[in-house]
A and B are shown apart, each in its own frame.
Chain A
Amino acid sequence: AQSVAQPEDQVNVAEGNPLTVKCTYSVSGNPYLFWYVQYPNRGLQFLLKYITGDNLVKGSYGFEAEFNKSQTSFHLKKPSALVSDSALYFCAVRRDHTGGFKTIFGAGTRLFVKA
């Protein structure tokens, strides 16, 4: 069965420092991996995705994520955090065509960036 784990409920980082939000997944077949962000009182917004190819994926707002097949991880990163990055981040996985359209979301990680 597909699953996604976000091991940290909360991540705290100082503005200007690099940030990492962790995600590991379990899926049979080829994974399609996504990161979404939810700002307060708003719906989820797509940040980036990994389908195939280069393991380092770049997305919106300066975020990037690294796909590591051997560690089954897809960590979200940003070189220099901003206070405005404070939000709830969700990792998601979708299996290849045999899994249909179902996407499995992690529990979410709340990022706090302090000025």
Chain B
Amino acid sequence: DVKVTQSSRYLVKRTGEKVFLECVQDMDHENMFWYRQDPGLGLRLIYFSYDVKMKEKGDIPEGYSVSREKKERFSLILESASTNQTSMYLCASSPGLALDNEQFFGPGTRLTVL
């Protein structure tokens, strides 16, 4: 089974802190994604990566950056956390270039910014 793990299930940070969310997948997937999940809004794509060192902006990239130095690891960085970034963050991965491939999700990190 594909396993996508996220470094923390719950995280509490203060406004202005730099925050790192880590995601690791163990199935050699090319594509990795970061979403945030908010009630009534579903999942919104922040950034995705289709290869090492490659990244593409999603629909809501403002206030976030990403890093993919190794194929299995995709990090989401909040340069200066703000209260409106309090949310559930979900990482996902999918194999190859075929667009019909489903995504495999991690358990999520619930981030609270005080």
Residues of A within 8 A of B (CB): 4, 6, 9, 32, 34, 36, 41-46, 49, 51, 90, 94-97, 99-103, 105-108
C-alpha spacing A105/B44, complex, angstroms: 7
- Contact across chains for A44 and B100 when beta carbons are under 8 A apart: no
Shortest Cβ distance from B112 into chain A, in angstroms? 16
Q: A9-B40, A49-B102, A99-B99 are in contact. List 6 more A-B contacts (CB 8 A).
A: A44-B90, A100-B56, A101-B48, A101-B94, A102-B45, A105-B42
Chain A residues, Cβ within 8 Å of B94: 101
Shortest Cβ distance from B2 into chain A, in angstroms? 10
Number of A-B contacts (CB under 8 A): 58
Chain B residues, Cβ within 8 Å of A41: 107
C-alpha spacing A66/B48, complex, angstroms: 30
Q: A43-B108, A90-B42, A90-B43 are in contact. Are A102 and B102 (CB under 8 A)?
A: no
C-alpha spacing A90/B42, complex, angstroms: 8
The 9 A-B pairs of least Cβ separation, nearest first, read A43-B105, A46-B102, A105-B43, A44-B105, A107-B42, A105-B42, A51-B100, A43-B107, A43-B106
- Closest-by-CB residue of B relative to A47 is B102
**B50 is an interface residue with CB less than 8 A from chain A:** yes
A/B interface sample: 8 pairs, CB < 8 A: A32-B99, A43-B4, A43-B107, A44-B105, A46-B102, A99-B99, A103-B45, A107-B42
